[in-house]
Structure 1
Amino acid sequence: MRLLVALVLCLVASPALAQFWGHYANARFGYEIDVPPGFVGQGESDNGDGQLYYNLGSQQGLAVWGGHLLDSFEQEVADRLAHASAENWGISYQASTPHWASFSGQRDHRIFYQRMIALCDDTSYAAFRLEHNIGDLAQMQTVVEGLVRSFRPSDC
């Protein structure tokens, strides 16, 4: 009987096990993030600041990168928000602290969510930006939660 129960549990769990998240760690800036299932990396950028991931079948993109602060973390966040607005994204959400910021917006049928974190050296930051179709909003909520939960500095 135990064997039968174990076999049934293995069969039920197999699809879930195939949905493991990947992981990306950036050595240049010292941050890490988990990568959702179905997102394929395009290789680290030539300057080593991050990577792009695509889920082509669902028209979803994830960009992760690090950068040096030219002024303060708060100013970098303000500059990124201004840039998104200048690209005609309607900003619908924003929240921030001195150590992290999140904002999102919509343009036509596309939605983006961006999160930025201050890194341990106080002279750099890391960010991710997830972009997807508006029809995927409900299913992407858990993806955003997983990204936010796993996104952190690694060199503190």
Structure 2
Amino acid sequence: MRFISLLFAVIALVAPANAQEWGRYDNARFGYSIAVPPGFVGQGQSQNGDGQAFALPGRVTSLTVWGGLTGVVHNGFEVMAEASIGHDTDEGWNITYRVTTPKWASWSGTKGGNILYRRMVLLCDGSAYAAFEMKYGQIDRVSMDPVVERLVGSLRGDC
């Protein structure tokens, strides 16, 4: 019985931290939005208006979101996504997961104790895409994997 009382006390202390509200970033230039995890601080809109970086103060964790043109007439979304994966490989990331489809692509990799996760989605008109990149330490994997899952589900274009 004492254990159960202690368990409820711990849950009561942890619950407010888990109940923090997620924010939202809306990009007017490309017409996409994404949820922003609690505690992440925006570093300011990029000069060209394609996205923004967010940092988690005191951590090596970062979230960067952006949009771009697909070049769908010439190469297409899948070719562009595969080129991005190739670039990450060239940068030394050991790609451990990858899926590329005509409308979205996701991949992740590791390098030097860090994890990279990228997601790209084709936007409604087919000529642009939205993307995010999350980088965090492998030590934070247990707490960050659910954050990445929510980010994947929240990245959307305005149709």
Instruction: Quickly name the TM-score band, shorter chain normalised.
Output: 0.7 to 0.9
Find the residue that maps to 1:132 and give its secondary structure: strand
- Deviations along 1:9-57, one digit per CA (max 9) or x if unpaired, are xx7654444x111100101001100000111001111110000000031
Name the SS for the 1:81 alignment partner.
helix
| Counterpart mapping for 1:46-61 below 5 A | 46-61=47-62
Q: Secondary structure at the match of 1:57?
A: coil
Tell me the TM-score normalised to structure 1 length: 0.88
SS in 2 for 1:136: helix
Provide Cα deviations, 1:123-153, integer angstroms capped at 9, x if missing partner: 1111000000110111111101110111111
| Mapped partners of 2:94, 2:57: distance in 1 | 24
Query: For structure 1, which runs of at least 5 residues remain unmatched after alignment?
Result: 1-10
Q: Take 2:85 and 2:25, find their aligned partners in 1: how far apart are those partners?
A: 25
After TM superposition, what 4+ stretches of structure 1 lie above 2 angstroms from structure 2? 11-17
Question: 2:52 matched to 1:41?
Answer: no
Superposed displacement of residue 58, structure 1:
2.0
70-79 vs 20-29, greater mean Cα deviation: 70-79
Cα shift at 1:120: 0.8
Q: In structure 2, what is the Cα distance between the partners aligned to 1:42 and 1:14? A: 26
The corresponding residue for 2:8 is none
Judged with a 3 Å threshold, the aligned counterparts in structure 2 of structure 1 residues 15 and 108 are, in CA distance, closer, same or farther, namely closer
Q: How many angstroms apart in 2 are the aligned matches of 1:21 and 1:87?
A: 31
Q: CA RMSD in A?
A: 1.5
1:29 aligned partner: 30
Partner SS state of residue 91, structure 1: strand
Number of residue-to-residue matches in the alignment: 145
Which amino acid letter does the alignment assign opposite residue 97 of structure 1? T
Matches of 1:79 and 1:60, distance apart in 2: 25
Q: Percent identity?
A: 47
Shift of 1:96: 2.4
Match of 1:4 in 2: none
Name the counterpart of 2:103: 99
Provide the rounded CA distance (Å) in 2 between the counterparts of 1:56 and 1:15: 16
